Structure 1
Amino acid sequence: MPPTINTINPSQGPTTGGTTVTLTGTGMTGSTGVRFGSTNAPSFVVNSATQITTVSPPRAAGAAAVIVLHPTGNSNSVTFTYVVSQVPVVTGVSPSSGPTAGGTNVTLTGTGFTGASSVTFGGVPATSFTVNSATQITAVTPPGGVGAAVVAVTTPGGTSAPDAFFFYAGVPILTSASPSQGPTAGGVVVTLTGSDLLNATAVRFGVTNATSFTVVSATQITATAPPGTGSSPITVVTPGGTSNPVAFSYVAAPTLTSLVPSSGPTSAGTVVTLTGTNLSTASAVTFGGTPVSFTVVSGTQVTAVAPAGPAGPVAVTVTTVGGTSPGLTYTRVPPPGI
């Protein structure tokens, strides 16, 4: 029974020939040749009863019927199209950046890719590549040094001009985060300093993405912390990989539970002990909106000096990295009359 051909891959190649073509079908064992139009293939290998690999001979541009020759009769034909070789042109590289370790799957777009025999990144051959069509190639980047690498495609028509680039990115490094604490509600803007921070795709506080971030330069990013609790080390993700973590922790909002004493004279100078929670990062104490001097004794205690003011109640608050506490009432008492 004559062999049959079901598929041909690739289905086109340059007029100069030399394209390796795979034919799949049935009954191929014992085949004696492969013919492209009226021209015999210069070589072929019967891989199995269902597959032959062959090399296209030179021919004029246009469609050629491909058949398998067999002692029992020739196969059906499938079409292989010969195209005029042209110098390839690379117009797009996506993604355009990746780690120096290589391994990035890149799609090249352009023209004249048929019959491509080589794809290089900075002169280094791609780990692998596949010619999908005359206008598209997918390739895997080889390892490379930090910086721009020319992407070149070579076909029987020549090598593309050095007009397309892939940028190898170093692994980002973080050296500091300022401030390194913020409220559990989030919203604090943190300045991250380091290196190789360009093209960052994410900034993470623990496992949570920053609410927003801006890449200021290769050495600085500003990011808005999302809500969170406890220790949440910050990392930055770029095409070069994920950075080392830098410390950031969330501070709960302060609370006040008592003032001792809770009243005093209208004159300044009364030392008041404020008791509550989450007071260790106190940055301000106010009496009726007036900032006063204070001392942080512990995470649960602050002493402050009441300012002078008119008789009557005022709200006392403490502000920390975690926010501002609800107010407790301190009452100024006028001196007794004569």
Structure 2
Amino acid sequence: MSPANGPLGGGTTIYIDGTSFTTDSKLYFIMDGQEVELNATFVNATRLVAKTPVGTMPGPVDVKVVNADGKSGVLAGGFTYDAPPVFPDPVITSIAPNQGSKRGGNLIDLYGTGFQRGARVVLGTEQLDLAAYMSTTNVRVRVPAVSTEGAVDVTIINPDGKSHTLVGGYTYLEDLPVITGISPSSGPMAGGTNIYVDGRYFTSNMIVTLDHVELTYTYVNSTRIVVRTPAASTPGDVELTVSSPSGAASTTTFTYEAPPVLPAPTLTGLSPTTGPIRGGTNIYIDGRNLRSGAKIVFNGIEYAVTFVNSTRVVFKTPAASAAGIISFYIVNPDGQQSGTLNFEYK
């Protein structure tokens, strides 16, 4: 018999050598007291060829050849079924990455010991074939999609039925909002700028803050929202943040621009330059860079003026207690002030 042993699963090609074989010789394995016929091929009077059937248990079996005339020969213990190899129990020690979006589709690696080719992985309730068998210490699977986030158990099952479970080994996460850009990225301190925020995984129940102040926003779709900036007290960079209900956040920067620095007011003349102490004189004050909302400081007291344009304001003099020369200057809304001119009470 050659070979004289083979796996319990059968399929081994064996050559049976002897004498007086015929074309109608039948070949049997005697297993558990039962004769199991093999499909034997006659080569010549001294050789038959066949494939072993599946064995019932490891160990030797008798081999019997029976010719058509009833004559037979038996080779006691002629073929031995080998015991299958004993593999160690699989053990999962880690998973990388061990979390990901509930949309699935990503690959994860299981690390450990005792992994066999043909193993299967159960992720939560989903049974998966391996995407790749790397070694006895590493296998790879593709994560399926699920409807809810949370931790799930991960189990590996070897072909021999041995298994191991890593409890809570993988965590499904909600889709985390991600900002990819904003337009515009700056605006005036007065507020009122519409910011178009682009990104991924936006939802209508996110929280949006600018400089840590929550804002209302317009949800366009999962890749765009629109927010309007409030007024700011100081110029500079502030954080624009979108947060999921669970608190996962993505942040970018918006810049409040400082208002332009306007030139200070200057005074070039006034008309008339004198008036009665009873007051009531309309003084036409001429200059440059005068602003709407400017004030006049007249004899140390601040009064409103009538703004005509950037080169003229008008002021009605108050009554004076005595004749004399009074100095005055103009203060623009931004606090910049002009030099002084004089008005004389007579």
TM-score by length of 1: 0.42
Q: Which has the higher contact order (CA 8 A, sep 6+)?
A: 1
TM-score by length of 2: 0.41
Structure 1 or 2, whichever has the larger Rg, is 2
